[in-house]
Structure 1
Amino acid sequence: MGRLLCAAMSFVAALALPAVANAQGFLVPGIGPVNQSMGGAATAAPLDGVSAMYYNPATITALPSSRFDIALEVLSNRNELASSVPGLAGSTGSKAGMAALPAIGAVWQDQESPFTYGIGLFGTGGFLVNFPASPTNPLTAPPPLGMGNLYAELTILQVAPTLAFKVTDNLSFGVSPTFNVATARADPFPFVAPNTDGRYPRGTANRNRWGGGIQAGVYYETDMGLHLGAAVKSPQWFETFEANSTDALGLPRPVTLDFEYPMIVNLGAAYSGLEDFLFAVDVRWVDYESTPTFGDPARFNPDGSIAGLGWKSTWVVATGVQYQATDRLAVRAGYSWNQNPISDNRAFFSALAPAVYQHIFSLGLSYNLTDCVILSAAWVHAFENSVSGPLYAPGPLPGTNVKLSQEVDGGLFGISVLF
């Protein structure tokens, strides 16, 4: 039983590094209050500079003017980890508190040139899981029965300088190199073999890691109010994550992990032919299966380390509607659905990244204080969802269970200045 629980906890830590605060799997479902209130649909519906640069750089040519946007999202991410083995069962909630994700964007249009320029800074992911020890929960039971408290953190910031070109009055092309900085910590760290005392080393003493990639997109507007867009964001390649850890005797033991942000393909359509209304829909594909660590098989290696998380590539559908209620007030509603990258029979491997929700509803509004200053706000709710499956040591164990649950609420606030 002790080996079972130790193995279980190693899987739990496996998702610690890559987990994200509000995730369709690993991704934030939207960026800023305007886009979040549209359910994350933006590939063919440019409403602000932040979401235009994040989803489809070509669409910044369609914004009505140059602008500066700044926004903050505050999240309450409620995760629950329950586990059971014969004779013992319990549940533990994460004591993670509130998380904050920033979004900043600036777009400059030259009326005498077909080029539009922009730069964005986004909090593309942020995660903090902090499960306290519990004597009744096998996975968080105090050692030597379990692993005690579990801690994992990830923060990713992305900077995206953007250039878009109006090929014709109706067709635009955009490109954006992306630069990323990530901080990741996990205790315990199960991607290496356990120490001689049977425990996994810590993965908390490290530095920020840098990465990069590229994004490109096209945008087409018809004269009948139909808008079409497509964009591809390459994988974001990061330096190898390294942490200064120790072995059972307290001697130096470096630990490492290869990590990437998955490739994303966006297709979008929008319709503005009905007076005062804008309708938008995005279909998004996220390639987790080709991503190191995420797509690698969810299993134990012979040395006791974790090979990967076994996530599936997923489809996402995002929809939104905007109604221009008055000259100054616009109201929005959105809904998005995504496949769950975590299979029930692999729930055990994702215990520290229970990004399992699939249905997200949002409401929002924008109000023009003046002709050039706009205030925006939104509320987002990810409905509770869960996955459950057996514990592994190293194969599935009859009579055992791990259940991961998640529910999220978010409040977003932003200000835009047009010039």
Structure 2
Amino acid sequence: MKKSRILGVAVVATLAMGISSSAFATNGYQLIGIGQYAIGMGGAVVAAPDDPLSAAISNPAGLALLAPQAAFSAEIFNPTRKTNLGFGEIGSHTNIYGVPAIGWVAPAFGDGIVFGGGVYGTSGLGVNYLQQVPSQIPGYPNSYAQAFSSINFMQMAPSIAMKVDHHLAVGATLNIAAEQASFQQTMTEYAPGTIQTQNGPINMPVGLTGGLNLSSPSWAYGVGFTLGALYKVNDMVTLGFTYKSPIWFTPLTWQAGAQNTVAQSGPNAGSGAMGTSGQYSGRLNYPQQVALGLAIRPTKSWLISVEGQWINWASTLNNFKIYGPWTAYNGGSPVGGISDIALPTHWKNQWVASIGTQYDVNNWLQVRMGYNYGSNPIAANNIGNNLIFPAVVENAITFGSTQKLGMGWKLTEAYMHEFGNTLTGSAGSSPFGGAMPASATLAENSFGLQVGYDF
């Protein structure tokens, strides 16, 4: 029997302000929008921000055009995740998560200058798979494969904006963020063994675990910035631009036991690395991105907004390096100590296109809908290295509405449906040596409610 069929693990691992939410994954592992107005517009708000939530996170210049106000959003996020680890398709546990956000804007520092911002759950992703595998030795316990990941990402975004003239507004945001990450991809198998007791040796099955296990949560803290501009060409056309820098994080650190990423089967059998008990670390920055938008008002009551976005995932998730007390192996023999191993996630840069439209039915009711497409950052031939990082969805539709309740109060709702998508690898792509090819499936739904108040 093989003592361990592991690995070639590729993983890293949603945020919530005090709420467990390891499951967001729309554009990569970034939500298509923050707040229910942005979601109802399919995320196309760079040229048409309409509340503090959509402005501070998408285009801070929009804050300069808003009346003093505050908004609170609460969203229920429901992803459906399935995988084939090589032994048949299984689903992930826990499929309901909460996503909160709060934002505000108020005058500051003189005419035309405002201060605003918010605190958001902006992104994340995670899975939790556990599957029994029939033992290869009659009478011995079943083996089991375990795959787990969690990224929780929280952002605070103090912003300042200024209306330069009746055409141009500019803004800037300081992105202060915290992220929590943990992940595991292991196989435990049983082999004949001898246990020493005070009454002498006893023959019994011994569990042998191989893989990467950094499942204890670790926090890191980072900072970046956003620059935005809005240019009103005329009463019908507005242009929007946003540049978000990377968010540079401190290292994640884990105190962990022994690690074993030496492949026991396939073309790389006998190669990989083993690590002793000790401290492991890795740095997971958030990617830079650029967005351009165009908002058109064919009539006073009708808004159409389109947006194109580029997200630089390749700079942060091409190879995720894990530093620690590693020893490299080749052909089953140790070849020397190394400082790190690189998990070959190999994410590509992502292009996102979105369109949203809003219609003012009357003085108190607005309705909207949107569509969001994000190119897949993961290639099918690399899905075996991303089974616990399955950001594979591409197409989403959204619907929303706002009711102006009077005395400054307004209520906004939105629904998002992300169509299911499956990526399947080639034969032999199972990281656990399973007979079936590796695959990952993801679909998503969300419903949110937002309360706003104009001062």
| TM norm structure 2 | 0.80
Q: List aligned pairs for 1:218-257, cutoff 5 A.
A: 218-247=229-258, 252-257=277-282
Larger radius of gyration: 2
In 2, the alpha carbon distance for the partners of 1:109 and 1:136 equals 66
Tell me if 1:288 matches 2:288.
Answer: no
In 2, the alpha carbon distance for the partners of 1:413 and 1:306 equals 41
Identical residues among aligned pairs (%): 24
Structure 1 residue 201: deviation in Å?
4.7
Q: 1:56 to 1:120 in 2, by over 3 A?
A: same
Structure 1 residue 236: deviation in Å?
0.7
Q: 1:189 to 1:283 in 2, by over 3 A?
A: farther
Given candidates 271, 286, 289, the residue that maps to 1:261 is 286
Structure 1 residue 408: deviation in Å?
0.4
Q: Secondary structure at the match of 2:157?
A: strand
2:6–2:431 contact (8 Å) kept in structure 1: no
CA deviations 1:357-416 (Å, max 9, x no partner) are: 100001111111114000111110000111111366899999751111111010111100
Structure 1 residue 5: deviation in Å?
3.6
In 1, the alpha carbon distance for the partners of 2:236 and 2:382 equals 45
Q: Secondary structure at the match of 2:105?
A: strand
Q: Which amino acid in structure 1 is aligned with residue 72 of structure 2? A: I
Q: Which amino acid in structure 2 is aligned with residue 286 of structure 1? A: I
In 2, the alpha carbon distance for the partners of 1:158 and 1:217 equals 18
Aligned to 1:193: none
Tell me if 1:310 matches 2:308.
Answer: no
Q: 1:277 to 1:4 in 2, by over 3 A?
A: farther
Aligned to 1:407: 443
RMSD after superposition: 3.2
Structure 1 residue 15: deviation in Å?
3.6
1:101–1:125 contact (8 Å) kept in structure 2: no
2:230–2:241 contact (8 Å) kept in structure 1: yes
Q: 1:41 to 1:248 in 2, by over 3 A?
A: closer
Q: 1:226 to 1:371 in 2, by over 3 A?
A: farther
Structure 1 residue 147: deviation in Å?
5.3
Aligned to 2:148: 151
In 1, the alpha carbon distance for the partners of 2:432 and 2:85 equals 14
Q: 1:282 to 1:17 in 2, by over 3 A?
A: closer
Aligned to 1:217: 228
Q: Which amino acid in structure 2 is aligned with residue 257 of structure 1? A: G
Q: 1:136 to 1:44 in 2, by over 3 A?
A: farther
In 2, the alpha carbon distance for the partners of 1:396 and 1:129 equals 17
In 1, the alpha carbon distance for the partners of 2:144 and 2:345 equals 19
Q: How many residues align?
A: 397
2:132–2:144 contact (8 Å) kept in structure 1: no
Structure 1 residue 152: deviation in Å?
1.6
More strand by share: 2
Aligned to 1:26: 29
Aligned to 2:177: 180
Aligned to 1:40: 43
CA deviations 1:205-248 (Å, max 9, x no partner) are: 34421111011011111223101010100011111110111227
Q: Which amino acid in structure 2 is aligned with residue 368 of structure 1? A: K
Structure 1 residue 302: deviation in Å?
5.5
Structure 1 residue 40: deviation in Å?
0.4
Given candidates 159, 162, 165, the residue that maps to 1:165 is 162
2:12–2:182 contact (8 Å) kept in structure 1: no
Q: 1:110 to 1:223 in 2, by over 3 A?
A: farther
Structure 1 residue 20: deviation in Å?
5.5
1:367–1:375 contact (8 Å) kept in structure 2: yes
Structure 1 residue 323: deviation in Å?
0.6
Aligned to 1:344: 380
2:134–2:143 contact (8 Å) kept in structure 1: no
Structure 1 residue 2: deviation in Å?
4.4
In 1, the alpha carbon distance for the partners of 2:369 and 2:342 equals 41
Q: 1:307 to 1:17 in 2, by over 3 A?
A: farther
Q: Secondary structure at the match of 1:200?
A: strand
In 1, the alpha carbon distance for the partners of 2:424 and 2:3 equals 21
Q: Which amino acid in structure 2 is aligned with residue 26 of structure 1? A: Y
Q: 1:148 to 1:172 in 2, by over 3 A?
A: same
1:101–1:126 contact (8 Å) kept in structure 2: no
More helix by share: 1
Aligned to 1:194: none
Q: 1:72 to 1:394 in 2, by over 3 A?
A: closer
- Which is further off, 276-285 or 121-130? 121-130
1:211–1:237 contact (8 Å) kept in structure 2: yes
Given candidates 360, 369, 394, the residue that maps to 1:358 is 394
| TM norm structure 1 | 0.86
In 1, the alpha carbon distance for the partners of 2:348 and 2:5 equals 26
Aligned to 2:205: none
Structure 1 residue 125: deviation in Å?
1.5
Q: Secondary structure at the match of 2:216?
A: coil
Aligned to 2:200: none
CA deviations 1:285-334 (Å, max 9, x no partner) are: 0001122xx12289xx9659443310000100011000111111100100
5+ residue gaps in structure 1? 191-196
Tell me if 1:383 matches 2:419.
Answer: yes
In 1, the alpha carbon distance for the partners of 2:109 and 2:355 equals 32
Structure 1 residue 335: deviation in Å?
0.4
Aligned to 1:329: 365
1:277–1:321 contact (8 Å) kept in structure 2: yes
